[in-house]
Amino acid sequence: MDDTEVWPEIEKAATEKRRELVLHGPAIDKRISSNQGLSSSIYSLQLLNYLEVSQCPSLTEIHADIQLLTNLQSLILCRNKLASIPHAIGRLKSLKVLDVSVNNLTAVPEEISQLPELTTLNVSCNSLELLPEGLSRCSKLSTINVSKNRLTAFPPDLFSEDLDLLSTLVASDNCIQELSGDIQQLAALKVLDLANNKLNEIPWNLSDCPKLKEINFRGNKLSDKRLEKMVNGCQTKSILEYLRGKGRGRQVEEGGDADGGRQPEKKKKQQQKKRKEKVAEEQEEELEEVRKMAVRVLHVSDAPTALTVQVSADVKDVRPYLVCCLVKGMNLKAGNSLKRFLMAQTKLHEDLCGKRTIATIATHDAALLKGPLVYGVRTPTQLKIVPLGRREMTAVELIRLLHLEADELRKQKKRQNVTGLHKYLQLLQGKSQYPCLVDADGDVISFPPITNSEKTKIKKTTKELFLEVTSGTSLQTCKDIMDALIVKMAELNKFTAEHQEEAGSDAESDAALNPSPSTETSSQLVIQQLRTTDQDGNLKVVYPSKTDLSDNISNLTVIW
């Protein structure tokens, strides 16, 4: 391995004692190809807790020296051509997230079972025929994705009581022939996806998974044709009820005696007691679920065409801090849900954002965005935008107009002090350049802290939102306010889902145009991580990270 060339990203990470490093794309791939692998100097960055090397077809192996990065918590090696993972990976005792999806792996080393902190394992889109035994020793695992491989069976210990935090198991598009009834031991299982496998049966014991909310068995040729029809068209709740009924029938058959199948009185009472206890337990769990809200976070590597945001160095002295993400699943169409959302955003601006003097929120219809986006600066005369509800104008014209409107409002209310509007306008006083977010067409879609553009305005029909929070205070301020915004969105979405009658004619017409076999309405938000980079492509921030949307938000469940 020739290491004569110094990789600037690695040198910068070492000099600045960075804890995150992202290497991806054609330029990195070219270096890997000429160097016959990653530069060995990367393994000296022992402060790293996040390392991503992705979209590099020339990367076919990772050196065993990866074990030297003992502080790594996230290792993202997706969309390369890795043929193997070194056994030394078992030495990364702090590792929480391992993503080796979309590679050429035919096996995963057993040593990953030696990672006590592992919470997320993504080995999807490879050529695996077996999973290693011993995964039950990774007792903190909450998400496993093994979809699009060649698996024929699960390892026997996967359905172990030790994995009492495992909430998501995705194993679609494999060759799995049997699902063990021991799956009922996964007490935290909420999502199970086994679509497009070779299952003949679904064990009735699956209905005993107490928290199971979402299942997918489509594309399997089941021997029970009624169940197969339900699987291909019905909601999760109906399928679980059907399986539960089959289970009761089997228990009665097995419990019958020679006197015509009548069970002893004592046994009957025991079973009745158990049933009552189970009903009480299910009711309590349903109440708990009602109290809680859920958001699911998709890792940035799960989206091959993920939107990117580049931050120009010029914003450093103007408004340097920016955090972004994408949100799917927000119901803005029903009734007054859009109005409630806009009012909630205004309330956050008034309170947490200090009338926009501390930070500013902007929301966009992601379908109307054309990336990549650039967060930079323009002079007041060159910055042109179509403000919400107005015609196109320069920043100079807009600021002048807002000052006039604010003065008029102050006079109407007979105030001597400046209004809230005046306060955030003062943030731009004396600035020779103004901050703005620009799309790939060169259009300004956001001018913080003043307004965002009519071009990307959200509507009732908006299905995916692009959220941005900017601040001149700190990056943590942006994160805290984005956390608060997402929590508020989850609350509003849950409220909308629980008050469907408020949807009125909108919901009724939707149902008529788009009939669905499921009557369930999910209030779960899906948050797609977004990364912001500097002009050289170096990572500045990924939101949300594992430290965002933290556990101290008591009524929010975050699924990674």
Where do runs of H (alpha helix) occur along 474-523? 475-498, 504-513
Residue 25: its pLDDT value, please? 82
Whether the Cβ atoms of residue 436 and residue 385 lie closer than 8 Å to each other: yes
Q: How many CA atoms lie within 13 A of 23 on its CB side?
A: 26
Residue 473: its pLDDT value, please? 87
Whether the Cβ atoms of residue 143 and residue 559 lie closer than 8 Å to each other: yes
3: left (phi over 0), alpha (psi -120 to 50) or beta: alpha
Distances (CA, A) of 184 to 131, 226, 250, 278: 20, 22, 16, 14
Residue 137: its pLDDT value, please? 93
The residue written with tokens 């403000």 in the block is: 387
Residue 44: its pLDDT value, please? 93
Nearest to 50 by CA among 61, 58, 42, 38: 42
Q: Assess whether the region 1-115 and the region 128-252+273-291 belong to the same CATH fold.
A: yes
Q: How many CA atoms lie within 13 A of 374 on its CB side?
A: 16
Residue 171: its pLDDT value, please? 94
Domain 128-252+273-291, CATH number (from 3.80.10.10, 3.30.70.360, 3.90.180.10, 2.30.30.100): 3.80.10.10
pTM above 0.75, yes or no: no
Please return the burial class of 74, using the count of CB atoms within 10 Å of its CB with bins 0-12, 13-18 and 19+: buried
Distances (CA, A) of 187 to 162, 208, 228, 283, 296: 10, 9, 25, 16, 19
Q: DSSP for 436-448, please give it.
A: EEE-TTS-EEEET
Task: Compute the distance between CA of residue 101 and CA of residue 123 in angstroms, rounded to an integer.
Answer: 5
Main-chain dihedrals φ then ψ at residue 286, nearest 5 degrees: -65, -40
Residues in the chain, overall count: 560
Task: Compute the distance between CA of residue 140 and CA of residue 283 in angstroms, rounded to an integer.
Answer: 27
Task: Compute the distance between CA of residue 317 and CA of residue 307 in angstroms, rounded to an integer.
Answer: 25
Domain topology for 293-377+435-559? Phenylalanyl-tRNA Synthetase; Chain B, domain 3 (3.50.40)
- Sign of dihedral through CA atoms 12, 18, 19, 24? negative
Whether the Cβ atoms of residue 50 and residue 69 lie closer than 8 Å to each other: no
Task: Compute the distance between CA of residue 543 and CA of residue 536 in angstroms, rounded to an integer.
Answer: 19
Residue at 478: amino acid letter: C
Homologous superfamily (CATH) for 1-115: Ribonuclease Inhibitor (3.80.10.10)
Give me the tens of pLDDT residue by residue for the chain, a chain 560 residues long.
445 567 998 998 899 888 889 898 888 999 999 888 999 999 999 999 999 998 899 999 999 999 999 999 999 999 999 999 999 999 999 999 999 999 999 999 999 999 999 999 999 999 999 999 899 999 999 999 999 999 999 998 999 899 999 999 999 999 999 999 899 999 999 999 999 999 999 998 898 898 888 899 999 999 988 888 888 876 778 888 888 887 665 554 545 443 444 445 655 566 666 666 666 565 555 544 444 566 777 765 555 556 889 999 999 989 999 999 999 989 998 888 899 999 999 999 888 888 888 899 999 999 999 888 999 999 999 999 998 888 999 999 998 888 888 777 777 766 555 555 566 777 888 889 999 999 999 999 999 999 999 999 999 999 999 999 999 888 889 998 999 898 888 888 888 877 654 344 344 334 333 333 333 345 678 888 888 988 888 888 888 887 787 645 555 666 66
Task: Compute the distance between CA of residue 254 and CA of residue 261 in angstroms, rounded to an integer.
Answer: 9
ω before 544 within 30° of 0 (cis)? yes
Q: 251 Cβ partners below 8 Å, 6+ apart?
A: 271
For the chain, the first-to-last Cα distance in angstroms comes to: 37
ω before 320 within 30° of 0 (cis)? no
Task: Compute the distance between CA of residue 332 and CA of residue 335 in angstroms, rounded to an integer.
Answer: 8
3-class SS string, 300-329? HHHCCCCCCEEECHHHHHCCCEEEEEEEEC
Domain extents in the chain:
1-115, 128-252+273-291, 293-377+435-559
The residue written with tokens 């359905």 in the block is: 159
Whether the Cβ atoms of residue 148 and residue 103 lie closer than 8 Å to each other: no
Whether the Cβ atoms of residue 272 and residue 251 lie closer than 8 Å to each other: no
